[in-house]
Amino acid sequence: METIDSIMVADWPKDKLEIIAIDDRSTDNSYQYLQQARQANPDRLRISQNPVNSGKHVTLTRALEQATGEIVICIDSDCIFDKNVIRELVACFCDPKVGAVGGHIGIANVNENVFTMVQALVYFMSFQVGKMLQNVQGSMFCISGCLFAVRREIFEEVEEEVRTRNWFGVKVRDGEDRYMTHAILMRGWKTIINPAAVCWTAAPAQLSQLFSQQLRWRRSGLRDLFWTLARLPQHLRVMGPRPLLTAVLPELFTVIWAMYLVTVIPVFGIGNALDTVASAFLMFCSVFMVAAVSYNHFIKHIAYGSDKIRYPLLAGLAGAWFFMDSLLITILALCTFDVGVWGTREVNTVQKNQYKWLGFVTDFYLEKVHKTSTGK
């Protein structure tokens, strides 16, 4: 309801705004909330429900079939709009070379626990460092699906490619935002972020939810890295070397770092390995604590209305999460590229049997997804 309400009060002419909400067979009460919202706004809100769980991109495509506007803004169900977000997004399309626009994503529950705090810092560092380097060049490699504005004509042009994407014949359902951004870039359009377009999303507060989310994102990023390297000459021709380098370095670093951690013990011995790992651990703890102090100083200017981190020194715990993220999640992602599930939905027996050749690793992951989605 908060998501719908925040859109309703956005600073944009009502007669130029279509609001279409489609429930992808959620297992909670989402569709009931949508029905209540439609009763409160019968002339402004259209709702429907997929016959079966179909994935985000299929759902977006069905919404596109109902929409008539020139600009389509795709969001997640837990996003809360700043009142100026639509105006800020649409203004960027005054540049005829811009094909897609994103915004600044803030964490609404930053102080719920250490997991949400860490994610707030990751978002902060990503948007203010990594993504801004890409943004200056007009070559964002991934616009977050939380807030993704795109020209309708471009959406229609890339829709089939995004819908039919696969990994060696296995259909892929995750990472549609990254793939769509990539496809738009490769057609010669600019993809940018407007930091003044702000929305907030709720970060996973449980380790199991965070693990599933990060695994999905890492798998999507690494899959995209290999797709890019496989078509390197084409990317160099379309994007140029500097934008391409800023796009691939983050994911390339995660692979190199994971491989280094795996090989450091047998190559250098356990003593040298522990020294290296301890030094890296302390370095990343320090980086996250500095980031937390910077977050508290700048966040009110970047995304007014955001909460400051209550205990910034606890950000040092992010160093422990970094090792799980960079080692375990990276390796697991590399071993499950052909797992075509979303990552937070229940996995049925047919899907599970489809991937049993991967053995223990995939079986462990699918069991984890099942337990996360059912609570059992």
Domain boundaries, the chain: 2-244, 245-374
pTM of the entire predicted model: 0.84
* Rounded CA separation 261/259 (Å): 5
What pLDDT is recorded for position 341?
55
CATH number belonging to the domain at 2-244, selected among 3.40.1160.10, 3.40.50.300, 3.90.550.10, 3.50.50.60: 3.90.550.10
Please report the pLDDT score of residue 130 as a whole number: 75
pLDDT at 143: 94
Q: Give the pLDDT score at 147.
A: 94
Residue with tokens 């005829």: 96
At residue 126, the pLDDT reads: 81
**Residue 183 and residue 187: Cα distance in Å, rounded?**
7
* Angle at which helices 56-66 and 152-163 cross, to 10°: 140
- Residue 376: predicted pLDDT: 44
**Number of neighbouring beta carbons within 10 Å of residue 17:** 14
Residues near 255 by beta carbon (within 8 Å), at least 6 away in sequence = 222, 225, 330, 334
Q: Quote the tokens at residue 37.
A: 């919202």
Q: How far is CA 67 from the centre of its chain?
A: 24
What is the reported pLDDT for 350?
Answer: 35
Cα dihedral 336, 210, 346, 340, rounded to 10, equals -30
Q: Which of 358, 135, 334 is nearest to 220 (CA)?
A: 334
Q: Which amino acid is at 85?
A: V
**pLDDT digits (tens), the chain, 376 positions:** 789 999 999 999 999 999 999 999 888 888 998 999 999 888 999 999 999 888 888 888 899 999 999 999 999 888 999 999 999 999 999 999 999 999 999 899 999 998 899 889 888 888 777 788 889 889 999 999 999 999 999 999 999 998 888 888 888 888 889 999 999 999 999 999 999 999 999 999 998 888 888 899 999 999 999 999 999 999 999 999 988 998 899 899 889 888 887 887 677 777 777 777 788 788 888 888 898 999 998 888 877 778 899 988 888 877 777 777 878 899 999 988 877 555 444 444 334 443 333 333 334 333 444 444 444 4
- CA 257, distance to chain mean position in Å, is 22
What is 203-272 written as a DSSP string? Answer: PP-SHHHHHHHHHHHHHHHHHHHHHHHHTHHHHHHHH-HHHHHHHHHHHHHHHHHHHHHHHHHHHH-HHH
Give the type of residue at 126: S
pLDDT at 171: 84
Closest among 136, 139, 145 to 55, alpha carbons compared: 145
Backbone angles phi, psi at 329, to 5 degrees: -65, -40
Q: How far is CA 153 from the centre of its chain?
A: 23
Nearest 5°: phi and psi at 46? -115, 130
